[in-house]
C-alpha cells in the first residue's frame, strides 16, 4: 500500500544551483492509499506496468516503472535481460494533487522489490535510490511523519501524539508542480526567511497535533488562490464545517481540513464534497505506511541463482535532464 501525504507546513526557500528549490516541510501520511502488486516471471523480460487509471502512462514516464527499472539495475538484474516483472497499480490518490501519490507509488515499488528480491537494503539505502526518481520519494521510507529539508533528501523522522481525522478535497483539476513554482516566483520579490517560530521547532523530534495546528502554513496557497479562486472557497467551506485548520497540500490542488473526530470529518466530507467535480475523502492520520506485508508473488526457485543478494550499494547524484518537476 502506498499512502498519500499532506504538508502540514511547507516553506519554499531559495533556488539551488542545480535548478531545484530548497524546502522546509513537516510532512505526514494519511489513510488514502494506492495499491501495488508485484509478480516476477522468469519466462519474460522487462517491466510491465498495468494501471486501472487509463489516463496515466504505463511506460518509462511513470515513476513506478522508473523505480522498478532502477532497482533491478542496481540489484544486478537489468530489466531488459534478467527477467520479467509485472506490476499492477490501483490508483485511489488523485494525480497532480499535492499528495505525492506518484512518489509514494515509487517508494512502495522500491520497498516491495527490496522485500521480494531479498536485497536487504536499509531505509537509508532505499531513500538514496528513491532520490534518483523524485524529490518526495525519500520521505516515505521514514513515514508516517518527518521534517524534510533540502530538495527532499534531508529527512528527519518525528513522532506525533494525539489523533486527528483529515478531510481531503480535490477540486477536480490538476495543478502541475513546475507551473506552481513559476507562479510562486512571480508573486514574490524575495524569499522570506523562516520565522523565529519555525526556527524554534526545527530541531524537535516530537510534536502533538495541538502544537502543529496553529503552525500550519503553505507558501503556495495564496499565490495559487489568486488564479484559482475555488481553492480559497474550499478552504473557507472546510473551516465553516468545523475544521481546526485548513490548508493547501504541496503545490495543490488538494486542500485538507483537520478534524478532531471521525464523525465531524464525515459530516464535513459530505458537505464540502457535494459540489460538482470535487472528490472528497475523510481519512485518519494514523501511521499509514507502505512498509507492511507486500502484495507480491515470491521469486521462483529457478530464479534464485539469478538474484544478486545484498549487492554493494552505489549511488550517483542526479545529473543531466530530470523528470522531477521540482527542478525548473
Residue by residue, DSSP assigns 30-88 as EEEEEEEEEEEETT--EEEEEES-TTS--STTSHHHHHHHHHHHHTT--TTTS-EEEEE
Cis amide leading into 263 (omega within 30): no
In this prediction, residue 308 carries a pLDDT of 31
5: annotated active-site residue: yes
In a domain? residue 113: yes
CA atoms within 13 Å, Cβ hemisphere of 199? 5
What is the per-residue pLDDT for 288?
Answer: 66
Q: Catalytic residue at 136? A: yes
297: in domain? no
* Active-site residue, selected from the candidate residues 11, 34, 105, 136: 136
pTM of the entire predicted model: 0.88
Q: Is residue 320 part of a domain?
A: no
315 belongs to a structural domain: no
Residue 311 within any structural domain of the chain: no
Domain count across the chain: 1
Q: Does 292 fall in a domain? A: no
In this prediction, residue 291 carries a pLDDT of: 53
CATH code: domain of residue 31: 3.30.230.10
Give the residue numbers spanning the domain of 231. 2-284
207-237 pLDDT, tens per residue? 999 999 999 999 999 999 999 999 999 999 9
Confirm whether 289 is domain-assigned: no
Q: Out of 5, 11, 34, 105, pick the active-site residue.
A: 5
Asked if 220 and 250 touch (Cβ cutoff 8 Å), the reply is yes
Low-confidence ranges of the chain (pLDDT < 50): 292-323, 328
pLDDT, residue 266, reads: 98
Residue 323: its pLDDT value, please?
Answer: 42
Q: Is residue 153 part of a domain?
A: yes
Report phi then psi at 272, rounded to 5. -75, -30
The pLDDT value given to residue 312: 29
pLDDT at 184: 97
> How far is Cα 95 from Cα 254, in angstroms, rounded to an integer?
10
What is d(CA 129, CA 109) in angstroms, rounded to the nearest whole number?
11
Q: Please write the tens of the pLDDT for every residue from 75-107.
A: 987 655 557 899 999 999 999 999 999 999 999
Amino acid at each position: 500500500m502506498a499512502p498519500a501525504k499532506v504538508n502540514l507546513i511547507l516553506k519554499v526557500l531559495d533556488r539551488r544551483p542545480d535548478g531545484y528549490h530548497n524546502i522546509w516541510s513537516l510532512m505526514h501520511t494519511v489513510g488514502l492509499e494506492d495499491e501495488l502488486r508485484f509478480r516476477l516471471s522468469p519466462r519474460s523480460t522487462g517491466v510491465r506496468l498495468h494501471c486501472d487509471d487509463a489516463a496515466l502512462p504505463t511506460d518509462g514516464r511513470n515513476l513506478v516503472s522508473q523505480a522498478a527499472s532502477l532497482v533491478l539495475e542496481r540489484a544486478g538484474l537489468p530489466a531488459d535481460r534478467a527477467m520479467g516483472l509485472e506490476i499492477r497499480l490501483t490508483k485511489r490518490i488523485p494525480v497532480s494533487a499535492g499528495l505525492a501519490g506518484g512518489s509514494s507509488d515509487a517508494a512502495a515499488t522500491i520497498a516491495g522489490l527490496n522485500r521480494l528480491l531479498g536485497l536487504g537494503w536499509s531505509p537509508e539505502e532505499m531513500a538514496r535510490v528513491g532520490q534518483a526518481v523524485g524529490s518526495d520519494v525519500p520521505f516515505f521510507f521514514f513515514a508516517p511523519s518527518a521534517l524534510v529539508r533540502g530538495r527532499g533528501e534531508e529527512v528527519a523522522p518525528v513522532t506525533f501524539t494525539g489523533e486527528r481525522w483529515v478531510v481531503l478535497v480535490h477540486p477536480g483539476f490538476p495543478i502541475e508542480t513546475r507551473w506552481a513554482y513559476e507562479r510562486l516566483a512571480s508573486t514574490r520579490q524575495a524569499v522570506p526567511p523562516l520565522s523565529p517560530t519555525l526556527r524554534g521547532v526545527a530541531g524537535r523530534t516530537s510534536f502533538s497535533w495541538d502544537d502543529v495546528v496553529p503552525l500550519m502554513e503553505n507558501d503556495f496557497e495564496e499565490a495559487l488562490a489568486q488564479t484559482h479562486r475555488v481553492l480559497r472557497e474550499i478552504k473557507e467551506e472546510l473551516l465553516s464545517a468545523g475544521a481546526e485548520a485548513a490548508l493547501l497540500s504541496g503545490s495543490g490542488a488538494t486542500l485538507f481540513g483537520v478534524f478532531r473526530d471521525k464523525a465531524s470529518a464525515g459530516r464535513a466530507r459530505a458537505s464540502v464534497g457535494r459540489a460538482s467535480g470535487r472528490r472528497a475523502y475523510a481519512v485518519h492520520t494514523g501511521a499509514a505506511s507502505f512498509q507492511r506485508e507486500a502484495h507480491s508473488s515470491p521469486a521462483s526457485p529457478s530464479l534464485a541463482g539469478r538474484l544478486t543478494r545484498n549487492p554493494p550499494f552505489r549511488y550517483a547524484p542526479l545529473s543531466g535532464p530530470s523528470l522531477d518537476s521540482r527542478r525548473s
